[in-house]
């Protein structure tokens, strides 16, 4: 008896592969997992503890507790203006929200356009719903921002949806307003859905204000807006995300969620609601720290022979061009990341793990301390000079 073709054929994340390989070693310096190195703000932790101690240990509504859905509606009162009862769903991390959105919007055989380099889980999530991936490369010379005409060229009669991730994991690229407007016009023209993963939207560093695809006329109705609390409040282990979309979409996403994760703990959700109402200044504190680290890591990259980088404008990743170093070492990007790990203890992620157009790059997360960044590059520089 064989296992299912889906289970056997589904690939794993290169991020986790490098993470797991590093667990076999000692004295490593990690630039791998996209996880804030901050602790969840104290008031959020205290509120969750209070709720646990009060005996809030029972099932909750599938779409999320009213307190959190209301807090999300208030948080988005200036842009999405969602109905908390009908247009908001709480999920097990933003990851589950993306999966539920794909299951809701795409049938087997439908095409989903994915801007690459892209977060590895998108590839697996599209495959799980039986859809077909249409990769649209975002080029380094364009700052890894997608060209709307490349998206247009990828659209066929079978195209159902486009996944947008701005700011981007892994490149840190932010789609500017005019490009976003052109993509919005194309979405309307071709009658497509959008899954807009905006979990890093509070972490931008450019002079231009952040633009959501939902801000253009007609796009709110055909977009599933995805966000969560992992990056916003350093709550990665709490597994809390959310989706905002029109009632029909949220209703069907919630049915799918009911048959999977089902619901999330009340204390976590109530604590997240408190975070939205009381802890927003903490986001700015973390953002300024990431901005400083971005400048530090980019300066060290520029000083390292064989490496270069387009300065990221959001998130906390540097997508480093290592093609010259790969050529010098006679390695592809995965070989380079593995060689760097085994010889120096520095953990990076090969660019090929984010799509074929990522070959020759490596991703470094700067959601780590200044000390680790400096120590890591001392080792990288020694490796390059060796």
Q: What are the DSSP calls for 317-383, one per residue?
A: EEEEE-HHHHHHHT--HHHHHHHHHHHH-EE-EETTBTBGGGTTEEEEE--S-HHHHHHHHHHHHHH
19 with 138, same domain: the answer is no
End residue of a domain, out of 235, 260, 279: 279
Kindly report the three-state secondary structure assignment for every residue of 72-83.
HHHHCCCCCCCC
Give how many domains the chain has, as a whole number.
2
Q: What span, in angstroms and rounded, lies between the C-alpha atoms of 25 and 73? A: 45
CA angle 341, 343, 349 (to 5 degrees): 20
- Residue 274 domain boundaries: 42-279
pLDDT one-digit tens code per residue, 212-231: 999 999 999 999 999 999 99
Q: Both 246 and 136 in a single domain?
A: yes
Residue 85 tokens read as 């009862």
Q: Kindly report the CATH number assigned to the domain that includes residue 250.
A: 3.40.640.10
Of 246, 279, 312, which one is at a domain's C-terminal end?
Answer: 279
Cis check: omega of the bond before 117, within 30 degrees of 0: yes
Q: With pLDDT > 90 as the criterion, what percentage of the chain qualifies?
A: 93
* pLDDT, average across residues 105-119: 98
Q: Judge if 27 and 167 occupy the same domain.
A: no
Say how far apart CA 343 and CA 379 lie, in whole Å.
9
Do both 94 and 30 map to the same domain?
no
Question: 386: pLDDT confidence band, cut at 50, 70 and 90?
Answer: confident
Predicted local confidence at residue 33, as pLDDT: 83
pLDDT top residue among 33 and 299: 299
Q: Residue 383 and residue 364: Cα distance in Å, rounded?
A: 16
Note whether 232 and 93 are same-domain residues: yes
For 149-162, the pLDDT digits (tens) are 999 999 999 999 99
* pLDDT for 12 beyond 90: no
- Same domain flag for 247 and 365: no
pLDDT at 146: 97
| CATH number of the domain within which 285 lies | 3.90.1150.10
Angle between helices 14-22 and 333-344 (to 10 degrees): 20
Residue 204 shares a structural domain with residue 119: yes
Q: What is the pLDDT of residue 190?
A: 98
Asked if residue 292 and residue 214 are part of one domain, the reply reads no
The whole-number average pLDDT for the span 9-37 is 89
- Give the pLDDT mean for 240-248: 98
| Whole-number Cα distances in Å, 155 to 129, 241, 293 | 19, 29, 38
- If you average pLDDT over residues 129-141, what whole number do you get? 97
Beta bridge partners of 318: 364
Q: Across residues 192-210, what is the average pLDDT?
A: 95
Same domain, 81 and 204: yes
CA distances 97 to 90, 125, 249, 257, Å, are 8, 11, 12, 8
pLDDT at 208 over 90: no
Q: Do residues 270 and 133 share a domain?
A: yes
Do 302 and 335 lie in a common domain? yes
Rounded-to-integer distance, Cα 365 and Cα 294, Å: 9
**Domain-ending residue, one of 234, 254, 279:** 279
């Amino acid at each position: 008896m064989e296992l299912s073709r889906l289970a056997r054929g589904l690939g794993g994340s290169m991020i986790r592969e490098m993470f797991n390989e590093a667990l076999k070693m000692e004295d490593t310096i990690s630039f791998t997992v996209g996880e804030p190195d901050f602790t969840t703000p104290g008031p959020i932790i205290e509120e969750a503890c209070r709720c646990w101690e009060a005996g809030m240990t029972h099932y909750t509504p599938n779409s999320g507790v009213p307190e959190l859905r209301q807090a999300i509606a208030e948080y988005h009162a200036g842009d999405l203006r969602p109905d908390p009862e009908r247009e908001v769903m709480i999920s097990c991390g933003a990851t589950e929200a993306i999966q539920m959105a794909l299951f809701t919007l795409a049938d087997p055989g439908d095409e989903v356009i994915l801007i690459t380099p892209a977060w590895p889980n998108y590839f697996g999530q599209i495959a799980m719903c039986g859809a077909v991936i249409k990769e649209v490369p975002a080029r380094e010379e364009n700052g890894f921002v997608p060209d709307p005409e490349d998206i247009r060229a990828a659209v066929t009669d079978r195209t159902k949806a486009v996944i947008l991730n701005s700011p981007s994991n892994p490149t840190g690229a932010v789609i500017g307003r005019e490009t976003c407007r052109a993509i919005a016009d194309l979405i309307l023209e071709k009658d497509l859905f959008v899954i807009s993963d905006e979990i890093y939207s509070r972490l931008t560093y450019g002079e231009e204000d952040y633009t959501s695809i939902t801000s253009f006329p007609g796009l709110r109705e055909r977009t599933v807006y995805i966000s969560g609390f992992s990056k916003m409040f350093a709550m990665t282990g709490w597994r809390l995300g959310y989706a905002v979309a029109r009632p029909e979409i949220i209703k069907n996403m919630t049915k799918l969620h009911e048959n999977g994760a089902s619901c999330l703990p009340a204390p976590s959700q109530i604590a997240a609601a408190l975070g939205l109402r009381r802890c927003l200044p903490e986001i700015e504190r973390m953002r300024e720290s990431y901005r400083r680290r971005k400048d530090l890591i980019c300066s060290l990259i520029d000083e390292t022979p064989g490496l270069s980088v387009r300065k990221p404008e959001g998130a906390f990743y540097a997508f480093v061009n290592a093609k010259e170093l790969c050529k010098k070492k006679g390695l592809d990007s995965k070989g380079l990341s593995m060689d760097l790990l085994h010889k120096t203890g520095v953990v990076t992620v090969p660019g090929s793990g984010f799509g074929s157009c990522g070959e020759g790059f490596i991703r470094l997360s700067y959601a780590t301390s200044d000390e680790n960044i400096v120590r890591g590059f001392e080792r990288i520089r020694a490796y390059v000079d060796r």
